[in-house]
Amino acid sequence: MPPGQNMDDWFTSLRSGMWKLFFKLNCEGRVRCFKEFFPLLHETRERVLGKDREDFYLVYLGTKPGSEKKGYGRALVEHGCALVS
């Protein structure tokens, strides 16, 4: 992820399609996801990796329903791990 770009900033949400989640959740779900869960992930990353580190990390990974159980997720994670090791 480019420096200065958070996993939950507006540009990342737009590119990933995560913005659609806002419209799929009810009011309580939006609060829990966008006001509690995402900030908690961001704070935990800073606490574990440090505030200034820009290491590779993967928070979300998903596939389309027709692509499940075909090994695509595993291949992506293995490829990413090979790049950073």
Whether 44 shows a pLDDT value over 90: the answer reads no
Phi and psi of 6, rounded to 5°? -85, 160
pLDDT given at position 17: 81
| Predicted pLDDT at 6 | 58
Residue/partner pairs of 11-18 with CB below 8 Å, 24 or more apart: 16/60, 18/60
pLDDT of 2: 46
Residue 9 is encoded by which pair of tokens? 């900033």
Tens digit of each residue's pLDDT (9 = 90 or more) over 45-58: 888 878 776 666 77
Question: Token digits for 12?
Answer: 């990342």
